[in-house]
């Protein structure tokens, strides 16, 4: 069993955005989780949109507990794949997740809060950008905040400290290959 890491002190937390049409936004956030946990930081990932499938990161998070926690709050992918839910159900879930996100960020219980696919919730009209800006504004100085998902609004990009855009160059889906466990979910 690994030794309990010595917790570092965060003095200047960052707001980080991973966006773009390429694969790897959630994966980049999860890579940051590994690094943060190695420094003894407590991380919470709140998943917007995702929620109807079982993802490998849910089981992986259990291996990193109590330093890393994931909570899916979405109702599944909106208007794609097997989505048959009314828009209002997705909207209610996104608004509830935003309220939960604000509480998590303000609680100071976690050193890093990841809002997975929050940009998708905004770009699809499930969540007003003002809710995201409210969460960003509430971030304490000693907390890191990561926002993932394609379609990050310009207002979010402008207020973030670090923004990375993933650009798709080639994807197996273009050749008819579907998502694979351990790589895509």
Question: Is residue 165 a contact partner of residue 33, using CB atoms and an 8 Å limit?
Answer: no
Domains and CATH numbers, the chain: 15-167 (3.40.50.300)
pTM, entire model: 0.90
Long-range CB contacts (< 8 A, 24+ apart) of 130-138?
131/95, 131/98, 131/102, 132/98, 132/156, 133/159, 134/102, 135/98, 135/101, 135/102, 135/105, 136/15, 136/160, 138/102, 138/105, 138/106
Distance (Å, whole) CA 64 – CA 67: 6
pLDDT in tens, 38-95: 999 999 999 998 766 677 888 999 999 999 999 999 877 766 667 677 778 889 999 9
Share of residues in the chain with pLDDT > 90 (%): 72
- Would you tell me the crossing angle of helices 56-64 and 25-38 to the nearest 10 degrees? 10
d(CA 154, CA 22) in angstroms, rounded, equals 18
Sequence-separated (6 or more) residues with CB below 8 Å from residue 177: none
150 vs 87, higher pLDDT: 150
Mean pLDDT throughout 163-176?
85
């Amino acid at each position: 069993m690994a030794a309990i890491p010595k917790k570092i002190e965060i003095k200047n937390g960052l707001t980080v955005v991973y966006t773009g049409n390429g694969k790897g936004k959630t994966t980049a956030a999860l890579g940051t989780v590994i690094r943060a946990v190695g420094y003894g930081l407590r991380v919470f990932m709140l998943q917007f949109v995702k929620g109807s499938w079982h993802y490998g990161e849910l089981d992986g998070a259990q291996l990193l507990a109590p330093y890393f926690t994931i909570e899916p709050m979405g109702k599944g992918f909106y208007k794609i794949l097997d989505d048959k839910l009314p828009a209002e159900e997705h909207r209610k879930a996104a608004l509830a997740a935003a309220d939960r996100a604000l509480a998590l960020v303000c609680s100071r219980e976690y050193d890093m809060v990841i809002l997975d696919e929050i940009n998708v919730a905004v770009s699809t009209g499930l969540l007003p950008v003002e809710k995201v800006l409210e969460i960003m504004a509430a971030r304490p100085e000693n907390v890191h905040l990561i926002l993932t998902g394609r379609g990050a609004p310009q207002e979010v990009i402008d207020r973030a400290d670090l923004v990375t855009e993933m650009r798709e160059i080639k994807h197996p889906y273009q050749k008819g290959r579907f998502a694979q466990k351990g790589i895509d979910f």
